[in-house]
Amino acid sequence: MKRTMQDEYRDKLVTAQEAVRVVKSGDWVEYGFGVCGANELDRALADRKSELRNINIRCDIGAWPHYTNEADPSGEHFYWNSWHFGGLDRKYYHDGLLSYIPMKFHELPKMTKEDCKPTNVFMIMVSPMDRHGYFSFGAGAPSSWAAIETADYVILEINNNMPRVLGGNQESIHISQVDFIVEGDNPPLPTLPAAEPTEVEKKIASHIIDNLYDGCCIQLGIGGIPNAIGAMVADSDLRDLGVHTEMYVDAYLKMSMAGKISGARKRIDRYKQVFSFAFGSRELYDFIDDNPGVIAYSVNYTNNPIIVSQLHDFVSINACIEVDLFGQVCAESVGTRQVSGTGGQLDFVEGAYKSKRGQSFICMTSTFQGKEGIVSRIKPVLTPGAIVTDPRTAVHKIVTEYGIANMKGKSTWERAEALIEIAHPEFRDSLVREAESMKIWRPRSKKDTP
């Protein structure tokens, strides 16, 4: 009698405890991206603490509880390594149980296959199997296949709440390509509450909205400014916008519901909203579920500057922590303390500028509240130890509530002048003095010209 896919499914169906028996001391274990990370499998792995040593776990935004970290405060049995920090990753980094792996996001699949320690076991949370035998990676498809192609074992954790997302490429896996299947308890997916923009963030968003026009193809990062832009676009007269992004957030949902996104003017993936992973509300996950207009790709496609550059009128909008007067951008650390990661920011900074009529915006409030008072985000030089996420040679436009500074084609004194003009007024004079001492200020600069 011919065996069916259902027969193969039953043969590969095991408990979480049985599945993690393939992990042995010294292994490198890779988890799926973000909300596709291992949950019950990580909990089962934590239960094997006494049997295992030196297990290295790789993740990218560990959105689910880190049971293995909690079970092993010494880090002798389980140690995590993250391509990009989420909130839980930051906690365990502070506790000395997790390290950051530097990367440019579009290079992640290549690094996984060619440069990393080989993946011994790959674990990922997926949607239930469809009638063709495929499991969808749902809200996280950036580099799963790169890990699968190098792994000794592939284990799926089924969650009925995972959306079935169409592709694209490398957005799903077939039953024949799987070693073990675990049916989980179907917990709700982690959500990312949409940050309510402040009045200052709305002002920053308004500067960017003034530079948008019909047919722009938009990439948004995370935070209050993207949410403000989504709301403003939804209320605007803009139309026929396109979407090509790494991260699909609730701002896109707002724009979609308002009828602002059609993708009709995109040169590639026309009429499709393209993304690599989603992180947001329950409503967002419902929207991307089985939606032919929203498709997932691996990150070496979505973030590849060569691909991005082929999309005319591309607009990239991201945030940062601080900028220095040379135009160097730090978006991932506070001094030496890692708080997020490079992610795809540099990918889109470079790709957007190469797009015909493309624009890349790096956004920040001009100040923040420090322990001893208001601190300027525009500094003479970056905080000692701060990581340069975007080199000065790549940065295009920097935005605060006071306006937009275009860095391209400017000498060092012109850059300093443009940045000081969008700094908080309270800090402009001191920034001028610092610029003078660094020999990047001209006495006859625009600021001093009658």
Helix and strand counts by DSSP (H, E) for the chain: 16, 27
| Residues sharing a CB contact under 8 Å with residue 232, sequence separation 6 or more, in sequence order | 202, 205, 206, 209
| Residues sharing a CB contact under 8 Å with residue 345, sequence separation 6 or more, in sequence order | 221, 318, 320, 331, 362, 389, 390
Is residue 246 part of the annotated active site? The answer reads yes
Of 189, 249, 255, the residue nearest 224 (C-alpha)? 249
Tokens of 410: 């400017």
Radius of gyration from C-alpha coordinates of the chain? 23
The helix or strand, by DSSP H or E, that contains position 278, with its residue range, turns out to be strand 277-278
| Residues sharing a CB contact under 8 Å with residue 10, sequence separation 6 or more, in sequence order | none
**What distance in Å separates the CA atoms of residue 147 and residue 149, rounded to the nearest whole number?**
5
CB 68 within 8 A of CB 92: no
Query: What are the DSSP calls for 347-366, one per residue?
Result: HHHHHHHHSTT-EEEEE--S
Q: How far is CA 47 from CA 78, 154, 159, 167, 327, in A?
A: 11, 20, 21, 36, 49
Residue type, 425: P
| List of E strands, 104-162 | 121-126, 134-136, 153-158
Of 356, 435, 362, the residue nearest 400 (C-alpha)? 362
Residue for token pair 């909205």: 209
- Catalytic choice (246, 332, 350, 434): 246
Q: Tell me the catalytic residues.
A: 246
